[in-house]
Amino acid sequence: MRKIIMTAEDMARTLERLACQIMEYAEPSELALVGIQRRGVDLAARLARIISARSGVNVPSGELDINLYRDDWTTTETAPTINATHIPFPVEDKIVVLVDDVLFTGRTVRAALEALLDFGRPRAVKLAVLVDRGHRELPIHPDWVGKRLDTARREQVNVLLLEHDGQDLVVLEPTP
């Protein structure tokens, strides 16, 4: 049975809170946000817009594809779908905030860290996620979390975004 976890209003309020927490950590001029493909990209862009609007400082955001860095792509039956990586700013001496929609095992974030370091050496890398559903397989933990959610492994958290799905919604569903 499908359960709504966050409505559009919940998501907007949560992104505002996350942006404020990130600004409490670092000056906006020191920040760069990098979204993990696919939905992390849109969330990073939204957070960058909120921080920029609140601070008056243009906070850059970029897109990171991690598919070639995954630790399971050689064991899957299909070739990985390659998305865009676009980081149009130097990462050196920046505090890079990786942004993703759902944190689960930590393997996506591990791949993102590896991919990001191909672009240089940031001063620090932090992690912001909309939903942390637990079940970590690696020692990776977010710095900022929109919502912590206890899930069963057989459940799936789906984040729908206006940019891709025509609506903002987070739902918990049984795995098909």
In a domain, 167, yes or no: no
Residue 173 covered by a domain: no
**pLDDT per residue over 97-116, tens digit each?**
999 999 999 999 999 999 99
pLDDT at 14 over 80: yes
* Structure confidence by residue, pLDDT tens digits, 135-172: 999 999 999 999 999 999 999 999 999 999 999 999 99
Per-residue pLDDT at 175: 86
Give the CATH number, domain containing residue 93.
3.40.50.2020
Question: So what's the pLDDT on residue 71?
Answer: 59
Total of domains in the chain: 1
Query: What mean pLDDT is predicted for residues 18-38?
Result: 97
Burial class (CB in 10 A: 0-12, 13-18, 19+), 46: buried
pLDDT in tens, 65-98: 998 776 555 555 665 666 789 999 999 999 999 9
**Residue 67 has what pLDDT?**
84
pLDDT score of 170 = 98
Identify whether 139 is part of a domain: yes
- 16: domain range? 8-71+81-151
Comparing CA positions, the residue from 117, 162, 164, 132 lying closest to residue 18 is 132
The CB density around residue 3, as the number of other CB atoms within 10 Å, is 10
Q: Per-residue pLDDT averaged across 26-33, rounded?
A: 98
Would 3 be classed as within a structural domain? Answer: no
The predicted pLDDT at position 68 comes to 77
Per the domain annotation, does 135 fall within a domain? Answer: yes
What does pTM read for this prediction?
A: 0.92
Q: How does residue 63 score in pLDDT terms, banded at 50, 70 and 90?
A: very high
Cα distances (angstroms) measured from residue 140 to each of 13, 57, 127, 137:
25, 30, 9, 8
Query: Does 159 fall in a domain?
Result: no
Residue 165 forms part of a structural domain: no
Residues 27-41, mean pLDDT to the nearest whole number = 97
Peptide bond into 121 cis (omega under 30): no
